[in-house]
């Protein structure tokens, strides 16, 4: 399995490095280099949901600066579980359907650099697998063909309307922002459904052109040979470079599945 070499036991790292702060710094350096890291054995660090949130917050604060999910609030830890929602533009954390490959906060002017997920309770239905795609590998491959270079040019130069999920809209009710898909920082920002919704919110003569190019880019992402999947277990956490890696999730039936998410810079 591709992920095995990126798995580390928390207690081993703590013993070797000496403090939770040192572990956090080491995780940051590793993710900067490799794109992601999986931390195991965290179930011994908490006994209920509240203590899990406290530990996860403490560790993540040593990796980067915590960013609230809603501006001006202190909702640093977000519960990812199926819930009833009146959102017009839903986000993946609100349902149990498949979440195609995407980056987090693609609707923000500058998405957070790091994203972390802690498995508090995995689905017992064998669903809810995590998918990962290193866009650096995709980009290097695209550079090798004329079609690939055309896709890069399109993704770098064209400005897309990216819809903001209802639950994360600010007081001014901004429905979308404009951005390219590829840039220096972040390398990639992408989520197909918010891009499609963004196109539906604008009325411009070149919407059809953008829609056709978006479909081609989406096919390229979802057919990439570099996409891999893994099932995270209870007490495991994954730390991801959100400017480089796309992640996703398979559908699941177990309504008790619960993951915690933190975003950092």
CATH classification at residue 27: 3.60.130.10
Same domain, 235 and 128: yes
Same domain, 120 and 147: no
How far apart, in whole angstroms, are the C-alpha atoms of residue 192 and residue 61? 30
Contacts by residues 68-73 (CB-CB < 8 Å, ≥ 24 positions apart): 69/168, 69/261, 69/263, 70/168, 70/170, 71/170
Residue 172: the pLDDT is 59
197 in Cβ contact with 172 (< 8 Å):
no
Residue 170: the pLDDT is 62
Q: Beta 78-80 vs 237-241: how paired, if at all?
A: unpaired
Same domain, 148 and 98: no
Which ranges of the chain have pLDDT less than 50? none
Same domain, 251 and 164: no
Contacts (Cβ under 8 Å, ≥6 apart) of 67: 76, 112, 263, 264, 265
Residue 184, exposed/middle/buried by CB under 10 A (0-12, 13-18, 19+)?
exposed
Same domain, 240 and 259: yes
End-to-end CA separation in angstroms for the chain? 29
Same domain, 259 and 171: no
Same domain, 111 and 88: yes
Residue 63: the pLDDT is 98
How far apart, in whole angstroms, are the C-alpha atoms of residue 30 and residue 36? 7
Structure tokens given for 179: 């951005």
Other Cβ atoms less than 10 A from the Cβ of 243: the count is 22
Same domain, 157 and 38: no
**Domains: count for the chain:** 2
Same domain, 215 and 239: no
Contacts (Cβ under 8 Å, ≥6 apart) of 178: 159, 160, 161, 162
Same domain, 81 and 34: yes
Same domain, 127 and 163: no
Task: Give residue 20's domain range.
Answer: 4-135+228-264
This model's pTM is above 0.95? no
Count how many Cα atoms sit within 13 Å of the Cα of residue 220 in the half-sphere of its side chain. 20
Same domain, 105 and 36: yes
DSSP state of 88: S
190 in Cβ contact with 156 (< 8 Å):
no
Contacts (Cβ under 8 Å, ≥6 apart) of 75: 68, 69
Q: Give rounded-to-5 percent helix, strand, coil for the chain.
A: 35, 25, 40
């Amino acid at each position: 399995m591709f992920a095995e070499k990126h798995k580390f036991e928390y207690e081993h790292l703590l013993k070797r490095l000496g403090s939770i702060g040192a572990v956090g710094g080491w995780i940051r350096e590793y993710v900067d280099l490799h794109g992601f890291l999986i931390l195991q054995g965290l179930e011994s660090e908490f006994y209920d949901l509240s203590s899990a949130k406290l530990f996860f917050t403490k560790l993540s604060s040593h990796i980067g600066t915590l960013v609230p999910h809603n501006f001006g609030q202190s909702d640093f830890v977000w519960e990812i579980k199926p819930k009833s929602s009146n959102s017009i533009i839903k986000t993946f954390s609100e349902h149990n359907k498949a979440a195609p490959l995407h980056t987090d906060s693609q609707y923000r002017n500058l998405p957070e650099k790091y994203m972390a997920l802690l498995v508090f309770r995995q689905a017992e239905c064998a669903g809810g697998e995590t998918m990962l795609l290193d866009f650096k590998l995709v980009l290097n491959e695209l550079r090798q063909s004329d079609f690939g270079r055309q896709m890069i040019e399109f993704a770098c130069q064209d400005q897309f309307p990216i819809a903001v999920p209802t639950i994360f809209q600010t007081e001014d009710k901004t429905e979308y922002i404009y951005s390219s898909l590829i840039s220096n920082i972040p390398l990639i920002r992408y989520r197909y459904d918010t891009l499609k919704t963004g196109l539906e919110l604008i009325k411009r003569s070149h919407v059809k052109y953008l829609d056709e190019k978006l479909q081609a880019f989406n096919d390229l992402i979802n057919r990439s040979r570099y996409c891999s999947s893994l099932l995270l277990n209870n007490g495991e956490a994954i730390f991801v470079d959100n400017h480089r890696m796309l992640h996703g999730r398979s559908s699941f039936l177990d309504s008790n599945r619960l993951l915690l998410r933190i975003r950092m810079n």
